[in-house]
Amino acid sequence: MDPATIYNQVHPEETPELITSSQVALHDELAKLAPETKEGWLRAKEKCPDLVNDDHTLMFLRCEVFNADLAAARLVKYWKKRIEIFGDIDAFRPLHLTSSLGPEIEQGLSIQFMRLTQTMDTGNRSLMYAEAARLMGAYDKSNDNDRLNIARGIWYLFHSVLEEERVQKVGMVFLINYSGAHISVVDPKLMSMVMSSVSGCLPIRVGAIHVCNPPSFFEKVVFPIIRLFMNERMRKRIRLHIISCQETFLKEMNDKYGLSKEVLPRELGGYVTLDGIRWMEDRKRMEIDKNAVVSSSYTLFVEQVHDLFSVKDSHLELNEDVNESCLHWHASLLMLEMTQVGSTLFTVTRQHYH
């Protein structure tokens, strides 16, 4: 068993030449699309240029195995859906638990319907575990905002795992557990939000969807809804597991799919204990630490810029080392633009001084 090709996926060797040529091809494909088709993408370029840099578009190219036209289609769908999920203002802000979006995302995550196991299969794919029973009575189905917050939490989970380049390249495996779930968990609106996000939208390569302990209503109620949002390729990635003997199930998962007890959650007979609340707290601390580094870098940068310039009577005046200082100024900005953080600092500082 080749771990990398368990699910018959292609993993191309990335070279600088491939990445550069594919980025050019992607933007060529985007240019061909009608303005109304790519409205969300155009708004993102205007409102949050630091979020739609080359690293962002590279995720979509990797997801579509560097097929530029498919990546362009997924990218414009992504921004249309992101605006639908987060609204006209918050869609263009970073998805952070420590931002203004935090309370809504946290409300959705606190249900712990979906959780990352923080483990991998033998092909280095990350694992996403979903427990359907946790949706029972967890939110008000008559309240669309409750439903949206669950979807927002799921989007945050995906974006957190996409921070790893490894995941962008090899993808993820889904483990969906229906143990203890009643037909009341079926919510077509929520299923529509989630499935339309995963299929053809978010830049996630799906290795497989392992449905464990499918209930009697799965085939007649759940699957017909899922089919509406899945193409044939995605439907072929679904694996059903009726667990009558846990030992047999675990052996199959290990031998056939590269999923040992060491990487599976306890709910499926594995050794991994999941704690979604603790995971959220860890993510908050990480975001705070990261923001502190960015803030410190920005403060230092502004201090250095002030050393180059003196401000009198609201007019910007150059000091006596004008020529050399200007050279250093432009060189610093060019270097800063080479990174995502630098690009943000560049934009903010340029607005401040001009």
At residue 75, the 3 state secondary structure works out as: helix
DSSP state of 94: -
Closest by CA to 72, choosing from 22, 129, 9, is 22
Phi, psi for 183 (deg, rounded to 5):
-60, -15
Distance CA 256, CA 259 (A): 8
Query: CA quadruple 200, 201, 205, 206: dihedral positive or negative?
Result: negative
Distance CA 276, CA 212 (A): 20
CA triple 121-122-128, angle to 5 deg: 10
Q: What is the pLDDT of residue 134?
A: 97
> Strands of 126-131's sheet, edge to edge?
114-120, 126-131, 172-177, 206-212, 238-241
Check: CB of residue 294 under 8 Å from CB of residue 287: no
Q: What is the pLDDT of residue 339?
A: 41
Locate tokens 């989970």: which residue? 157
Q: What is the pLDDT of residue 219?
A: 86
DSSP state of 342: H
Q: What is the pLDDT of residue 213?
A: 94
Check: CB of residue 63 under 8 Å from CB of residue 10: no
Name 255's bridge partners. none
Distance CA 178, CA 201 (A): 25
Q: CA-based diameter of the chain, in Å? A: 82
At residue 125, the 3 state secondary structure works out as: coil
Closest by CA to 208, choosing from 242, 172, 179, 258, is 172
Distance CA 193, CA 304 (A): 47
Name 208's bridge partners. 173
Query: CA quadruple 294, 296, 302, 304: dihedral positive or negative?
Result: negative
Distance CA 133, CA 72 (A): 36
Q: What is the pLDDT of residue 215?
A: 92
Check: CB of residue 181 under 8 Å from CB of residue 133: yes
DSSP state of 99: S
Q: What is the pLDDT of residue 35?
A: 96
Give the strand pairing for 114-120 and 126-131.
antiparallel
Q: What is the DSSP string of 9-28?
A: ---PPP-HHHHHHHHHHHHH
Q: How do the pLDDT tens digits run along the chain, 354 residues long?
A: 666 678 888 889 999 999 999 999 999 999 999 999 999 999 999 999 999 999 999 999 999 999 999 999 999 999 999 999 999 999 999 999 998 889 999 999 999 999 999 999 999 999 999 999 999 999 999 999 999 999 999 999 999 999 999 999 999 999 999 999 999 999 999 999 999 898 889 999 999 999 999 999 998 899 888 888 888 888 889 999 999 999 999 999 999 999 999 999 999 999 999 999 999 999 999 999 887 665 555 455 555 555 555 544 444 444 444 444 444 444 444 444 444 444 444 444 444 444
At residue 309, the 3 state secondary structure works out as: strand
Check: CB of residue 57 under 8 Å from CB of residue 26: yes
Phi, psi for 116 (deg, rounded to 5):
-85, 135
Q: What is the pLDDT of residue 295?
A: 52
Distance CA 351, CA 345 (A): 10
Which residues lie closer than 8 Å to 20 by C-beta, 6 or more apart?
A: none
